[in-house]
């Protein structure tokens, strides 16, 4: 008989606990205190794995180990355990962040960049292509592209996409604009994105394209005619986790395929003020 419902187990999965961690923690909550062997039987987890998993739960802050023979594990109130685990994650994140900052300012970064540069010489730009699964991954890639922009950013998007640009990319687009990057945004503007248009007009030139006159729709972004993100799904019909896009550093695709489409639509658009 399961100790917890599927809803509970799914919620614990959502905070990063794997299947064995979830099973053993729930078993320990049910027992209060127990040995690894006892918990492995209750949770139906291989005994050989239970020690490592319980150590992992201890390291994460969910479990307390009692120095006894045999070693016992003690449960604490779930709220207290979650708060301990949260603080541990925050501490670990801060440590990792500090290490990354130190790495960025160390000679190691120079060596890594040299390795990367040498690798570029033997790899064609067209081979730098990949799929982006989930809207968060798409946002991350676009942010990275916009941050590195040196000359221009061309964006074709939807009313929903305009709202996303305003909510998730406004600051990075403003920084790009401040350093002289020419930003053009093209969309079928409607009443749902009025606020976004007003804000984005301060950092970019936003134009309205009438999809009846210019039958082009979808979402893509091109940076410096060299790098692109092209959406492969309809923003309105898929869940954020199912959003799918293609990223590429193919100059041919960016400059000779999508940019001409953008210029054609741009020449048939009207300024939005």
Is 129-271 a domain of CATH 3.30.870.10? yes
Domain extents in the chain: 6-76, 129-271
Q: What angle do CA 140, 145, 148 make, to 5 degrees?
A: 125
**For helices 135-148 and 170-178, angle between their N-to-C axes, nearest 10 degrees:** 10
Instruction: Kindly state the average pLDDT of the residues 78-92.
Output: 91
**11 contacts 4 by C-beta, under 8 angstroms:** no
**pLDDT tens per residue across span 210-264:** 766 667 778 999 999 999 999 998 877 778 888 899 999 888 888 889 999 999 8
Task: Check whether 127 has a pLDDT greater than 70.
Answer: no
What is the pLDDT confidence band of residue 121, given thresholds at 50, 70 and 90?
A: low
Instruction: Kindly state the average pLDDT of the residues 172-199.
Output: 92
- pLDDT of the residue at 222: 95
What is the pLDDT confidence band of residue 1, given thresholds at 50, 70 and 90?
A: very low
What is the pLDDT confidence band of residue 188, given thresholds at 50, 70 and 90?
A: confident
- pLDDT of the residue at 273: 65
In this structure, are strands 152-157 and 182-187 parallel, antiparallel, or unpaired? parallel
209 CB neighbour count, 10 Å cutoff: 20
- pLDDT of the residue at 120: 54
Task: Check whether 25 has a pLDDT greater than 60.
Answer: yes
CA distance 218 to 237: 12
Task: Check whether 208 has a pLDDT greater than 50.
Answer: yes
- pLDDT of the residue at 114: 81
- Selected from 1.10.10.10, 1.10.10.60, 3.30.450.40, 1.10.3720.10, the CATH number assigned to the domain covering 6-76 reads 1.10.10.10
Closest CA to 156 of 224, 227, 213, 229: 229
Query: What is the average pLDDT score of the chain?
Result: 88
- pLDDT of the residue at 2: 60
Task: Check whether 122 has a pLDDT greater than 80.
Answer: no
**198 contacts 165 by C-beta, under 8 angstroms:** no
- pLDDT of the residue at 128: 65
Lowest mean pLDDT among 25-29, 161-165, 232-236, 245-249: 232-236
């Amino acid at each position: 008989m399961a100790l917890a419902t599927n809803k509970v187990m799914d919620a614990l999965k959502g905070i990063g606990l794997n299947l064995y961690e979830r099973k053993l923690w729930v078993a320990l909550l049910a027992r209060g205190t127990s040995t690894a062997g006892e918990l492995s039987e209750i949770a139906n987890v291989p005994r050989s794995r239970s020690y490592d998993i319980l150590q992992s739960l201890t390291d994460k802050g969910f479990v307390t180990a009692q120095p006894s023979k045999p070693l016992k594990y003690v449960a604490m109130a779930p709220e207290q355990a979650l708060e301990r685990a949260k603080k541990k994650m925050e501490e670990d994140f801060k440590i990792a962040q500090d290490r990354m900052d130190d790495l960025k300012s160390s000679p190691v970064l120079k060596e890594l960049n040299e390795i990367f540069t040498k690798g570029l010489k033997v790899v064609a730009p067209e081979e730098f292509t990949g799929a982006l699964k989930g809207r968060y991954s798409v946002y991350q890639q676009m942010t990275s592209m916009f941050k590195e922009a040196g000359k221009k950013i061309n964006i074709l998007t939807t009313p929903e996409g305009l709202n996303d640009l305003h909510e998730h990319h406004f600051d990075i687009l403003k920084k790009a604009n401040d350093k002289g990057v020419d930003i053009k945004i093209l969309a079928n503007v409607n009443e749902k994105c009025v606020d976004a248009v007003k804000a984005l007009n301060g950092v970019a030139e936003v134009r309205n394209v009438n999809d009846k006159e210019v039958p082009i729709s979808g979402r893509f972004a091109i940076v410096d005619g060299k790098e692109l993100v092209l959406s492969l799904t309809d923003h309105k019909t898929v869940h954020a986790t199912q959003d799918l896009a293609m990223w590429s550093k193919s100059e041919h695709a960016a400059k000779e395929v999508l940019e001409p489409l953008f210029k054609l639509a741009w020449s048939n658009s009207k300024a939005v003020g």
